[in-house]
Amino acid sequence: MDYDHIRLLFAERFPTGGFSSCDFRPHFDGYGHNAYVEIVPEASIEATRALAYTRLTEMVEFLRPLQSLFGPHDRIELAVGFPVSVKPTCRRMLRGWISTARLGNVQAPDFAAVGGAFGENDSWFVGLWPNAGD
């Protein structure tokens, strides 16, 4: 598979993110892919959370038409977080994985409904707004 092509297309669409691939055989019969986007916090926790879910949805919608370029047993991890300059630790807000074979079935906001797993980091907001997490 030409995962370098996907990486270049992803970087063009999401300049604050990245896409990488790794052969995970024999752990499972395919490649593990990582797609992430960095965002800058908005004025509030709620607005930042909404932006993160928007970026997650955009990544899925971007990758959906490329589904045929993945192997039949590949998996993809999707993540949204902050740049190091914004938050040096606990940067990841959202993270999850799905089988690339199920990309066509993913529907926001329930990204896990197709057999994957998605979650929100419980402390991503700490230190970004006064008194957040106290």
Nearest Cα residue to 69 out of 35, 101, 26:
101
Work out the average pLDDT over 3-17: 95
Q: What are phi and psi of 131, to 5 degrees?
A: 65, 5
113 three-state secondary structure: helix
Q: What is the pLDDT of residue 111?
A: 65
- 25 lies in a domain? yes
Query: Does residue 30 contact residue 71 with C-beta atoms inside 8 Å?
Result: yes
Q: Which residue has the tokens 């902050």?
A: 82
pLDDT greater than 60 at residue 12: yes
Say if 14 falls within a structural domain.
yes
Whether this model's pTM surpasses 0.85: yes
Total tally of structural domains belonging to the chain: 1
Full domain range(s) for residue 7: 3-120
Q: 110 in a domain, yes or no? A: yes
Instruction: Tell me the per-residue pLDDT of 30-89, one tens digit each, with 9 for 90 and over.
Output: 899 999 999 999 999 999 999 998 999 999 999 999 999 998 899 999 999 999 999 988
- In sequence order, the β-bridge partners of residue 20 are 34
| H runs (alpha helix) in the chain | 3-13, 45-63
